[in-house]
Amino acid sequence: MLQSEVRRLITTLSKTTWQKLLLYFMLYLLPVLLFAELADEVRERETLLFDSAILHWVHTTVSSPVMDRIVVTITDFGYVWWVGGLTIIGLLILLYYKQRRNALILALGVAGSAIINIILKLIFQRDRPQLWERIVVENSASFPSGHAMASASLALCAIVIFWPTRWRYPVLISGIIYMFVIAFTRLYLGVHYPTDIIAGWLMAIAWVLIVAGLARHWRIKKT
């Protein structure tokens, strides 16, 4: 009886419904599942060989005194105080133009991401790489990368906000460049493993999309 009811339910679902369910899975659940799988590999130290090889390659291939000065300056744009400052400016502009839903996406997307990052760092307590003498000092845990998560959250919020406008592609390209540049600086400085970066991106994607989905639902309910 139960099997027949399940089959009937499946057949009654339209193709459009299945497409929406697949889209929701890809957008919301898949990044979380990938993060969970990656975190499990990190806990078991299965990624250490890959992580170390990438860091050594970056260090030996790109490192120079000139690059040191450039990267130390650029990496500041991924710190919480810089991302927070840009977020506050963005919020003021959005509220001035009465874009309350977009202001909500930006505020929750960036602030929530920062809180999640702190919690995850406390849970995993992964040590920072110690592969060479670093030119910057970082004392917090390594996994997931706060710089990667903060920059990705800010970029993704901007992409979500500007997507319905004619600025979607310039913002998309700029956001992706920003994310990758900040991530590269963390690898260059040897303060994060590549898997720290990937984990930060995955959680940022999951969180910002959840916030955007809830904000969209709130807009529909209001209308």
What average pLDDT does the segment 199-222 reach?
82
Q: What is the pLDDT of residue 26?
A: 63
* Mean pLDDT, the chain, whole residue set: 86
Q: What is the pLDDT of residue 23?
A: 60
The HSE-up count of residue 201 (CA atoms within 13 Å, CB side) is 15
pLDDT range class, residue 220, cuts 50, 70, 90: very low
pLDDT range class, residue 48, cuts 50, 70, 90: very high
Rounded CA separation 60/82 (Å): 29
pLDDT tens figures, 4-20: 544 554 455 455 555 55
Give the SS3 label for residue 13: coil
Burial (Cβ within 10 Å: 0-12, 13-18, ≥19) of residue 86 = middle
Rounded CA separation 61/83 (Å): 29
Of residues 103 and 21, the one with the higher pLDDT is: 103
Q: Which two tokens stand for residue 85?
A: 């400052």
What average pLDDT does the segment 122-143 reach?
88
Provide the phi-psi class of 140: left if phi over 0, else alpha when psi is between -120 and 50, else beta: beta
What average pLDDT does the segment 180-196 reach?
95
Residue that the structure tokens 């959840």 belong to: 210
The sign of the torsion formed by the CA atoms of 156, 157, 162, 167 equals negative
Q: Has residue 117 got a pLDDT over 90?
A: yes
- Percent pLDDT > 90 in the chain is 64
Rounded CA separation 199/185 (Å): 16
Q: Has residue 60 got a pLDDT over 80?
A: yes
CATH architecture of 29-222: Up-down Bundle (1.20)
Rounded CA separation 23/39 (Å): 24
Rounded CA separation 18/12 (Å): 11
* Helical segments of the chain, H only: 2-12, 15-24, 30-43, 48-62, 65-75, 80-96, 100-124, 146-162, 168-188, 194-222
Q: Has residue 77 got a pLDDT over 80?
A: yes
Q: What is the pLDDT of residue 179?
A: 95
Q: What is the pLDDT of residue 6?
A: 44
Rounded CA separation 218/52 (Å): 45
Q: Has residue 106 got a pLDDT over 90?
A: yes
What average pLDDT does the segment 18-43 reach?
77
